[in-house]
A and B are shown apart, each in its own frame.
Chain A
Amino acid sequence: MSPSWRLWGWPIVLALLTASGLVSALVSDHWGDVWSWIGLGVPVAVMAWYASGRAARKEPRPPR
């Protein structure tokens, strides 16, 4: 994995998800709304997962 992809991969994916969710509900009522819940919900879940520290416990980092 290239260093810039390692650095920016997740942020780009989450930004695209958020943007698609913000737009979809604006242009379509039923499925657009459902997609917006996914598009905004996944970033919120990712935030909660990493901030809760559960991710850190799963993969301990080797000492530097």
Chain B
Amino acid sequence: MPSARALRTWSWLHKWSSLVCTVFMLLLCLTGLPLIFHHEIGELAGTDVSAPAMPQGTPHVSLDRVLEAARAKYPDRIVQFVSLDEEDPNIWFVTLTPTPDPTDDFRSVAVDARTGQVLAQPRFDEGFMWVMFKLHVDLFAGLAGKLFLGLMGLLLLVAIVTGVVLYAPFMRKLAFGEVRTGRSRRIRWLDLHNLLGIVTLTWAFVVGATGMINTWADLLIKYWQNDQLTHILAPYQGQSIVPAAERASVQQSFAAALAHVPGSRLSFAAFPGTAFSSPHHTTFYLKGDSPLTSRLPRPVLVDARTAQVTAAPELPWYLTALLVSQPLHFGDYGGLPMKILWALLDIATIVVLGSGLYLWLKRRAPQPLPPEAGVAVAEGAR
């Protein structure tokens, strides 16, 4: 049983850590709700790209032709990334931007891998889901917004831990899940706050912690380039980004990468000078087939001039942690039932946040909460 003094300290920590982050957490919970179902929403809204039916095993055209078709749509842009559709490996998605630098100004072109014909030019950078996404990820404020939300996530973790500590004195005299309905409305919400809080504890902690880790993604990739890639890139020192005219065939580079890691599939490829590659390489991220290795793509750096593999470094632990933390945050790795449970847990978290705010607003009416709630504290030491 905590002393009255310890109870005051934990309460202070719980109150302030949650008060500061609550508004942002409510925003994250609300914007995260549609994001859980972004795939289903895309299908319903008909914005998903589909390729016409053709006999199975229809051969693919060269990746160079695919890129050409995409570039023809936006001659003043360069290709940053290219990836295969998750559902239908007959669709390439090409991402084009003004420069190799990270930006929100991007265009996407979907190209049929079998014909090299442009299927669609979907806009992922506008509309309701884009606004939800940006509010959820960086508040339209770039890296600063991300890091700020990461800090709010850290406060949420503090609020969760202190909440667990406070659960004991508040629940000592009650049965698990007991919601006292006969007393004041405030006591009823307190009991609900404790019930939903303690049940969602693990989920909220995992989603909060992995969300916080995700806010560091840009920094971790930058660190990786300075850390592991530096010695790989030593021979290229002093050279600028390989000009487009001097680049070897991307199809040939792709084939070299696949041959280097047998049995792998492409997750995505990053072009020279972009955030996920080096100035001198086209980097192919190749994934395995098991549930875990399909989440942990291996980078294969292919010299953009010669189409020869330079290196395929093992992912460092911090990038492995980042990649594993993504599904744990998104809830997209256990089918539709998991997404529905993710949404329900998200809604329960909204109730925990809302009831916490309510309890703070009503903290003095008509007497302080702990005595009314029958909180168990140790006698004596104050």
Contacts and interface: CB of A to CB of B under 8 A. Distances in A.
A37 B204 CA distance: 16
A25 B338 contact: yes
B345 A46 contact: no
Interface residues of B, number: 36
B201 A15 contact: yes
Interface string A22-59: 10011111001100110011011011011101011000
Interface in B162-212: 167-168, 171-172, 175-179, 181, 192, 195-196, 198-203, 206
Contact of A19 (B199, B202, B291, B295): B202
A18 to B, nearest CB: 4
Given A11-B199, A43-B203, 18 more contacts: A6-B175, A10-B176, A11-B176, A19-B206, A22-B206, A25-B338, A26-B292, A32-B334, A33-B334, A33-B337, A33-B338, A37-B334, A40-B203, A40-B345, A43-B200, A44-B348, A47-B195, A61-B178
> Which 3 pairs of residues, A with B, have the shortest CB-CB distance?
A50-B177, A25-B334, A18-B202
Interface of A: 3, 6-7, 9-11, 14-15, 18-19, 22, 25-29, 32-33, 36-37, 40-41, 43-44, 46-47, 49-51, 53, 55-56, 61
Interface of B: 167-168, 171-172, 175-179, 181, 192, 195-196, 198-203, 206, 291-292, 295, 324, 327-328, 333-335, 337-338, 341-342, 344-345, 348
21 contacts: A7-B172, A7-B176, A10-B177, A22-B206, A27-B292, A32-B334, A33-B338, A36-B338, A37-B334, A40-B203, A40-B342, A43-B199, A43-B203, A44-B345, A44-B348, A46-B177, A51-B179, A51-B196, A53-B179, A55-B177, A61-B178
